[in-house]
């Protein structure tokens, strides 16, 4: 049994980043044509597009500020004109910031996290779900985090935003299910990406001691789950919140 995304078009936000590029590659390996969203790093995005085209896939890079509805809609219009509208959407982009104790955390960080998590999903839904409704088909995967469950110190802005994202997704699942659109969330743990592979350093003994499987996951683990959830192998799975964290966190029943 293989994951076959042939004939599908996908959009991955934050597609040129560490986790994003691995998901982009995995979708392409499964047969999808992929639009790579980026914010500022056009070089990385274009390099990835060249890689996908060498695989025989249609690919294009699109810039957008996911915290701006106008910018997201502009990206949609450019995609419709030159690449096509996506059947598959992966919401992955997030603003990075310095995490501190709540009492020391800058107030602006709470707003930036809300805008890049909750409002990104709202803007993406408004931009791309109407097309999915028209064709009575859509597959959406949303990158959440194990932190939404663990709620550990120094993560207050991130946790608040990602839990807000969870609320948006849960409502949206019920609003678009009749249109044959599935939406599922992936909650990665602290994931190894190319950045750490290039440095050769994986400092995480204390963290790994809290993982039942005893080691950190990789971007490949997340990409595999994403590819499955946006495939028709998961056609009757929607509204799921799936930790990919080695058992470090578990959802309730």
DSSP secondary structure letters along 120-178: HHHHHHHHHHHHHHHHT-EEEEEE--THHHH--TT-HHHHHHHHHHHHHHHHHHHHHGG
Q: Report which secondary-structure segment, H or E, holds 107.
A: helix 107-114
Mean pLDDT of the chain: 96
Instruction: Domains for the chain: give ranges and CATH numbers.
Output: 9-244 (3.40.50.720)
Asked if residues 59 and 34 have their Cβ atoms less than 8 Å apart, the reply is yes
DSSP state of 234: G
C-alpha pair distances (Å), 125 with each of 66, 131, 140: 12, 10, 10
Give me the pLDDT at residue 168, please.
98
Nearest partner of 113 among 73, 74, 163, judged by Cα: 163
DSSP state of 86: -
Spatial distance between the Cα atoms of 106 and 191, rounded to a whole number of angstroms: 26
- Dmax over CA atoms of the chain, in Å, equals 51
Range of lowest pLDDT (60-69, 103-112, 197-206)? 197-206
Residue 138: strand pairing partners: 181
- Rounded to 5 degrees, what are φ and ψ at 27? -60, -40
pLDDT at position 141 over 80: yes
User: Model confidence at 253, in pLDDT bands (50, 70, 90)?
Assistant: confident
For the four alpha carbons of 69, 71, 74 and 78, in that order, the dihedral sign comes to: negative
Give me the pLDDT at residue 195, please.
84
Read off the pTM. Answer: 0.96
Asked if residues 124 and 72 have their Cβ atoms less than 8 Å apart, the reply is yes
Asked if residues 85 and 129 have their Cβ atoms less than 8 Å apart, the reply is no
CA atoms within 13 A on the CB side of 12: 30
Asked if residues 228 and 220 have their Cβ atoms less than 8 Å apart, the reply is no
């Amino acid at each position: 049994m293989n994951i076959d995304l042939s004939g599908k078009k996908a959009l991955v936000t934050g597609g040129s980043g560490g986790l994003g590029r691995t998901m982009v590659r995995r979708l392409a390996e499964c047969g999808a044509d992929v639009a790579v969203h980026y914010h500022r790093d056009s070089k990385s995005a274009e390099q990835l597009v060249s890689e996908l085209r060498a695989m025989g896939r249609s690919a294009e890079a699109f810039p957008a500020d996911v915290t701006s509805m106008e910018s997201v809609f502009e990206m949609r219009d450019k995609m419709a004109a030159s690449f096509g509208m996506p059947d598959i959407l992966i919401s992955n982009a997030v603003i990075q910031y310095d995490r501190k104790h709540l009492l020391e955390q800058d107030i602006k960080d709470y707003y930036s996290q809300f805008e890049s998590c909750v409002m990104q999903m709202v803007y993406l839904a408004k931009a791309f779900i109407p097309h999915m409704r028209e064709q009575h088909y859509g597959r959406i995967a949303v990158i959440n985090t194990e932190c939404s469950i663990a709620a550990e110190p120094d993560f207050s802005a991130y946790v608040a935003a990602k839990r807000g994202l969870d609320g948006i997704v849960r409502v949206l699942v019920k609003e678009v299910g009749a249109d044959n659109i599935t939406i599922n969330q992936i909650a990665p743990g602290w994931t190894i990406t190319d950045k750490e592979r290039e440095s050769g350093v994986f400092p995480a003994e204390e963290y790994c001691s809290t993982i039942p499987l005893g080691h950190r996951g990789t971007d490949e683990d997340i990409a595999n789950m994403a590819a499955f959830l946006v495939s028709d192998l998961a056609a009757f799975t929607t509204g799921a919140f799936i930790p990919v964290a080695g058992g470090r966190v578990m959802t309730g029943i």
